[in-house]
Amino acid sequence: MMAVNCTLQILLLLFILLSPVAITAGATDTFSKGQNVTDGETLVSAGGTFTLGFFSPGASAKRYLGIWFSVSSDAVCWVANCEHPLDDTSGVLVVASDTGDFLLLGGSGEVAWSSNSPNTSSVEAQLQESGNLVLHDQRSKTILWQSFDHPSNTLLPGMKMGKNLWTGDEWYLTSWRSPDDPSPGGYRRVLEYTTRLPEVVLWQRDAKAYRTGPWNGRWFNGVPEASTYAHDFPLHVTASTSEVTYGYTARPGAPLTRVVVSDAGVVRRLVWDASTSTWKTFFQGPRDVCDAYGKCGAFGLCDASAASSAFCGCLQGFSPASPPAWYMRETSDGCRRNVPLNCSGNGTATDGFVLVRGVKLPDTQNASVDTSISTEECRARCSANCSCLAYASAEIREGGGGGSGCIIWTGDVVDLRYVDRGQDLYLRLAESELAMPKSSKFAIVTVLAPVASVIGIILVLLFVIICWRRKHKISLHSSKFSYDSPVS
């Protein structure tokens, strides 16, 4: 027993002597009233992952207070005074002695930023290992304010986007104005949940720029990449009466990661590659032309591999609303139904459904969702309601095939594209449109096929004749052939 104790004490002593870094770091992740962080000083989280301090972004000379990854000081994930930069290095972050607020003071004592947290006498500030700057009551340990509740352009593991339906608190990401200016830029990344089927939308001011597609129970339908990293970074979507949120966590030992909205409106999931000291892109959205919101308009279908048709086509049973505009690549007006639906709504309907396989499901803003019924019941419900234009499963099943739940679209089908591991959409069409697709692709095939086969036969015959003649020439005049060959 004694021996064990001694060994432990020696080990502890050795640890203390050999790891001054760990101890100073441990001491510098917190500060309280009366203490401060000046420009040039930093606060480092206990494990060393995150650093809080002053910085100047890009080519700017202005000073901002922010939090960044210690291994990559360019990777700023939160900025306090994004709209009120300081002009010099006289800034200081203090915990106000009267209110217990965070105050960022400039050289002349002006307040560049404040946390506006509840008035509390005994507070302590801590930069947690997660990258969260927390102000808590030293006695009750309740959190008074945290930077995770005030996201900048970055979503870190443990953060959330979405809404607390009880308090009304909402969390979303806002892009920087430029790499030199962290003030709010033109893009916002918001969790939309009008249908209680969350999907993440990138807004460019008041217009949708890019959708991830609805949550399918495992990933956002248009982001199949997530299936490759969900093991290290499990995604969490909550849709309850108290909150609709999306966030992710990091498995212990997983590499560092962040999701960033760039000033140019590109969302990236970046993962730190320690061996090369670089951030690797695991996902990027928009990924290609087809991710541009509403690229092919209502009832259009975007195919990123169909360069020959300028990526846009119409769903079966539909044709371009304006062929001249379509020719001019103005495809956002979309497509028009060829034959009106013939729906009586009492079981005598002659309409049917055509299956559109492997798509990012259309915008669900005006869709209705019922996760409690099966896809078969969904078909029956859509069939019986003349305003239902399309339906799909709300959740996919493990190992593909079928699914459960029900999404019903009664308005335009917008922002549809083919995507890897996509879902099945059932589109209502008049009986006459159900049989063979009348799309231009098929029209060309049916017109050209007989012509092509005739040409083919002629070519084969010509080839046979030429070969036969050559063969005879070669055997008859072999010396001429060998003389000719270097030239040819």
Residue ranges that bind ligand NAG, judged by CB under 6 A: 36, 92, 94, 98-99, 105, 119, 121, 342, 344-346, 348, 350, 363, 365-366, 368, 385, 387-388, 408, 410-412, 414, 431
Closest CB 135 distance from ligand NAG, rounded Å = 14
Pick the closer one to ligand NAG by CB: 70 or 99: 99
Pick the closer one to ligand NAG by CB: 22 or 96: 96
The CA distance from 199 to 365, in Å, is 10
Residue pair 92/81 in contact (Cβ under 8 Å)? The answer is: no
Residue pair 226/210 in contact (Cβ under 8 Å)? The answer is: no
Pick the closer one to ligand NAG by CB: 56 or 365: 365
Burial class, 214, CB count within 10 angstroms (exposed 0-12 / middle 13-18 / buried 19+): buried
Pick the closer one to ligand NAG by CB: 116 or 305: 116
Closest CB 413 distance from ligand NAG, rounded Å = 8
Pick the closer one to ligand NAG by CB: 260 or 413: 413
Pick the closer one to ligand NAG by CB: 258 or 295: 295
Closest CB 439 distance from ligand NAG, rounded Å = 21
Residue pair 475/482 in contact (Cβ under 8 Å)? The answer is: no
**413, HSE (Cβ side, Cα atoms, 13 Å):** 30
The CA distance from 100 to 120, in Å, is 6
Closest CB 335 distance from ligand NAG, rounded Å = 14
Hey, what long-range contacts does 321-328 have (CB within 8 A, 24 or more apart)? Answer: 321/297
Pick the closer one to ligand NAG by CB: 92 or 226: 92
The CA distance from 269 to 305, in Å, is 24
Pick the closer one to ligand NAG by CB: 24 or 366: 366
The CA distance from 158 to 204, in Å, is 26
**Cβ atoms within 10 Å of 296's Cβ, excluding its own:** 29
Closest CB 300 distance from ligand NAG, rounded Å = 13
Q: Which stretches of 322-464 are assigned E, i.e. beta strand? A: 335-337, 352-360, 368-374, 390-392, 404-409, 417-418, 423-429
Closest CB 368 distance from ligand NAG, rounded Å = 4
Closest CB 82 distance from ligand NAG, rounded Å = 21
Six-digit token string for 70: 């210690």
Closest CB 387 distance from ligand NAG, rounded Å = 5
Q: Compute the C-alpha angle 413/374/222, nearest 5°.
A: 40
Produce one character per residue of 437-451: b if its CB has 16 or more CB atoms within 10 Å, e if not: ebbeeeeeeeeeeee
Pick the closer one to ligand NAG by CB: 77 or 414: 414
Closest CB 410 distance from ligand NAG, rounded Å = 5
